[in-house]
Amino acid sequence: MVRTFVLAYDWLLAKSQPLNAEQIYQKMLPSVGTIVVEKDDGSSSMGTAFLALKDGYAVTAWHVVQGAVSASFRFSTKEEVEVVGLEDKDVKHDLALLKTRTVGINLLPLSSSQVKVGMKAFAIEIPPCRT
């Protein structure tokens, strides 16, 4: 399964020296991870999430965490932190804001501009976490 999260970041492209795709990937990867979820019906799920807004908060898709009884956030470095709760959700837009035990990790700034047809967007693939 390929796990991706598509983000449009005009702020990365608007610098005097625009970043190329590899530089954008390297800059974003430390803030992106995999959410591993155990659900109340005994099933499990995985999805991609990214750290944003303020320390300890991760954004993911609501359908990934809906019905969760426990979850963890795993970085590409294999570091894993506990998800301690659901802070907020937007079912209509399939978004969830999770509270994690992360501190001091770079947060991805969210763009306030509207996404427009033709804007550059990048899909960040999380390298497989091998145990």
Domains of the chain, with CATH numbers? 4-104 (2.40.10.10)
pLDDT of residue 15: 52
Higher per-residue pLDDT: 124 or 12 = 124
Tokens of 22: 């590899």
Give the tens place of pLDDT for each residue, 105-121.
Answer: 888 877 666 777 887 77
pLDDT of residue 30: 86
Of 129, 122, 26, 5, the residue nearest 73 (C-alpha): 129
Q: How confident is the model at residue 27 (pLDDT cuts 50, 70, 90)?
A: confident
Q: Is the pLDDT of residue 50 over 80?
A: yes
Tokens of 28: 């974003």
Q: How confident is the model at residue 6 (pLDDT cuts 50, 70, 90)?
A: very low
- For 111, phi and psi rounded to 5 degrees? -75, 140
- pTM for the full model? 0.78
Tell me what the mean pLDDT of segment 26-46 comes to: 90
Of 106, 114, 117, the residue nearest 31 (C-alpha): 106
β-partners of residue 57 are 99
Tell me what the mean pLDDT of segment 50-73 comes to: 92
Tell me what the mean pLDDT of segment 38-53 comes to: 91
* Alpha-carbon gap, residue 40 to 70, rounded angstroms: 9
The SS3 assignment for 31 reads helix
Q: What is the DSSP letter of 18?
A: -
